[in-house]
């Protein structure tokens, strides 16, 4: 029996970590067409402005831009169409309860292949204020300086 090769394609949403505090993460499948999957394998996807919303006991991904497949034909679809995320009913109900609390939203963090299937990591997130973003930048730069000084000391 042949083992499938694990793909190293991972698309991450770095802006989400800058703009939000991520409290919990969930893994979900996503309903796509064939040309969209081929385009994602080429890395032609943008998660920066995307978000997820719960409607009629289903979760949908909005504003996720997947470029049309370069070798596609009329099978190519709208690059920013709404896409359904595949969650279990229990998870949808849990997320529905948590997103109704003040300030919580669903943000896609990563898109990757797992056992040949495309998965999306969704984060339950709270928005950061400007001063929170500044504190994170200060902490990041301080950590970078400490690591740099430590490397110089080892020489």
Q: How far apart are CA 49 and CA 34, in angstroms?
A: 23
Measured over the CA atoms of residue 137, residue 139, residue 142 and residue 146, the dihedral's sign is negative
Mean pLDDT in residue range 25-33: 91
In a domain, 151, yes or no: no
* Predicted confidence band of residue 62 (pLDDT cuts 50, 70, 90): very high
The answer to the question of residue 5 being in a domain is: no
Q: What mean pLDDT do residues 73-80 have?
A: 80
According to the model, what pLDDT value does residue 19 have?
A: 86
CB atoms within 10 A of CB 150: 9
pLDDT interval class at 107 (50, 70, 90): very high
SS (H, E, C) 61-124: EECCEECCCCCCCCCCCCCCCCEEEECCHHHHHHHHHHHCCCCEEEEEEEEEEECCEEEEEEEE
Cα distance between residue 122 and residue 113, in whole Å: 14
Is there a domain that residue 109 lies in?
Answer: yes
CB count in 10 Å sphere of residue 23:
11
Residues in a beta bridge with 119: 29, 112
Average pLDDT over residues 53-61: 92
Q: Is residue 55 part of a domain?
A: yes
The answer to whether residue 74 is domain-embedded is yes
Span 73-83, average pLDDT: 82
Q: Is residue 136 part of a domain?
A: no
Residue 88 belongs to a domain: yes
14 has a pLDDT exceeding 70 = yes
Phi, psi values for residue 79, rounded to 5°: -65, -30
Examine residue 85 and state whether it is found in any structural domain, yes or no.
yes
Number of domains in the chain: 1
Domain range for 85 is 10-127
Q: Which residue has the higher pLDDT, 65 or 8?
A: 65
> CA dihedral defined by 123, 124, 129, 131, rounded to 10 degrees?
-60
The CATH number of residue 72's host domain is 2.40.280.10
Our measurement of the distance from residue 101's CA atom to the centroid of its chain's CA atoms, rounded to an integer in Å, reads 21
């Amino acid at each position: 029996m042949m083992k499938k090769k694990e793909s190293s394609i991972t698309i991450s949403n770095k802006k989400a970590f800058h703009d939000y505090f991520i409290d919990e993460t969930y893994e979900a499948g996503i309903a796509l067409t064939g040309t969209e999957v081929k385009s994602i394998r080429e890395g032609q996807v943008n998660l920066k402005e995307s978000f997820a919303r719960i409607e009629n006991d289903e979760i949908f991904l909005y504003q996720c831009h997947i470029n049309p497949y370069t070798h596609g034909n009329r099978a190519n679809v709208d690059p920013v169409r709404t896409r359904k995320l595949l969650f279990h009913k229990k998870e949808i109900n849990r997320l529905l309860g948590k997103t109704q609390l003040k300030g919580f939203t669903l943000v896609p963090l990563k898109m990757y292949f797992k056992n040949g299937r495309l998965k999306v990591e969704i984060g339950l997130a709270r928005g950061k204020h400007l001063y929170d973003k500044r504190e994170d930048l200060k902490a990041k730069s301080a950590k970078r300086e400490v690591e740099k000084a430590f490397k110089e000391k080892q020489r």
